[in-house]
Structure 1
């Protein structure tokens, strides 16, 4: 069993009468790409601020690696909590040299991290000439300077265009493939689904779900069916034992959900025996979006 990188127990943060984080329990294993998923105001950024020691908790505990205080773990953790801020008239390399002095890490890592994030060719260009995606990649480069075991990213694709989002996602996957543990906060379901191995959903500061992305997306979520007589098809589907839910979508097709015991082939055979010929039959793939919306509305 893989070791814990981070364990959070009963973590709570109050801002006056507002509870931003409410009795949060989490365990993040080494090698995970762990997503904190939730709408704005759900407590994601506050949680990251607490575990990085920049926000005071009201109660609860968190433990990095072992029981040493967070101050002694700084070089093992790289983080970006806000929009990247660098000196606009200095180059990427010059800005990273300043970061090296602040973090007390050798400047020999600069070229290496620029290559990792794909900015080596533009490292001597002024920061002000960078696109938003390049600025975000430079911020990730700065977080990698100490070669940390853990990388923490708060909304890493926020404000980027589709190309920039795709580039940052690919970069995160490449960094994770190198063995680092990554914790990222996001309100974008697609980002978590495509990048993360595990995730937790937060709502009003509370954890309402946690699990692996692969398990959440395994199997299917029923079938989409259609025939020339959609009304009769709907009546027969409703009468079939094991059908949990039926709804008509905007394509005038039926989306049918079943109990786990239902065999789709037997259901199809039942329709044929009743004189219904389908002109469309397709599995509905599971998505985090549907589960997320169901969790938030519960």
Structure 2
């Protein structure tokens, strides 16, 4: 996964006094599922709009496939930027035939993409009879018609019920397994954590973090402990060198965070030596949610 599919350097976009994107630098590698994560108004959709040539940048550069943007690259990129819009009284197949004409793609791909998104059995049904999840899957099918190398999705599960969200997430992973590179924008931490291999966090148009999801979730974020004498346990924890933070959760247990150099085994031995026997000890797994909130509040 060394080949760079997309490289962004110093990308900036202003809307009057508002800076939508502020000196954005980013790299997306081939085969990755890359998430642009951030709250509403952080610049995610504006970034995707510029990358697809529908929004004009003010400054900075970006390259697709190590080349400056040009019309010939568009067939290599499939995208859904807004809510799916199709002719309501036409069937899924008929709507995709319209898309084929617009994209100048042969309609022989229609059956294949409908099977890929799980809509083959409903291909002849009118679009107006589709659920929201099915409509989103048809939109993804339309983006796949040109067999693109890159698929761009803007808030792909927005407005869907839990079942629809699960279906779209599974579909994204299936498409990624076929070798395509996927770039998706989302404000949902759970979505990025479950489907992305890499992600960047945007705040007020500026990148404040970029990295691997696996590395961000590796290790643990301290321990959850309790004993028969919680007050004594809390006092001992406060006195232990290397404890960074202690808080009592809604289960009346202590959540203890340590500095990086602390060996938790030594902490446990210290408690035993001071007469405390734990009746509960569990690692607290790292989460993107906590890191995300810490980044936004920094």
TM-score category (smaller protein): over 0.9
**Contact 1:89–1:128 under 8 Å retained in 2:** yes
Aligned to 1:47: 47
CA distance in 2, matches of 1:70, 1:181: 19
Provide the secondary structure at the position in 2 that maps to 1:222: strand
Q: Does 1:295 align with 2:295?
A: yes
Shift of 1:69: 2.7
Provide the secondary structure at the position in 2 that maps to 1:209: strand
Provide the secondary structure at the position in 2 that maps to 1:13: strand
CA distance in 2, matches of 1:67, 1:243: 50
CA distance in 2, matches of 1:214, 1:107: 39
Deviations 1:184-205 (A, max 9, x none): 0000000000000000000000
**Contact 1:42–1:202 under 8 Å retained in 2:** yes
Shift of 1:68: 4.1
TM-score (norm 1): 0.99
Aligned to 2:88: 88
Aligned to 1:124: 124
**Contact 2:223–2:257 under 8 Å retained in 1:** yes
**Contact 1:52–1:70 under 8 Å retained in 2:** no
Aligned to 1:71: 71
Aligned residues: 298
CA distance in 2, matches of 1:246, 1:272: 19
The within-5 A match list for 1:148-227 is: 148-227=148-227
CA distance in 2, matches of 1:116, 1:192: 22
Shift of 1:66: 2.6
For structure 1, the residue ranges without an aligned partner over 5 or more in a row are: none
Provide the secondary structure at the position in 2 that maps to 1:22: strand
**Contact 1:53–1:70 under 8 Å retained in 2:** no
CA distance in 2, matches of 1:293, 1:261: 24
Deviations 1:38-95 (A, max 9, x none): 0000000000000000000011000000324331201000000000000000000000
Q: Does 1:134 align with 2:134?
A: yes
TM-score (norm 2): 0.99
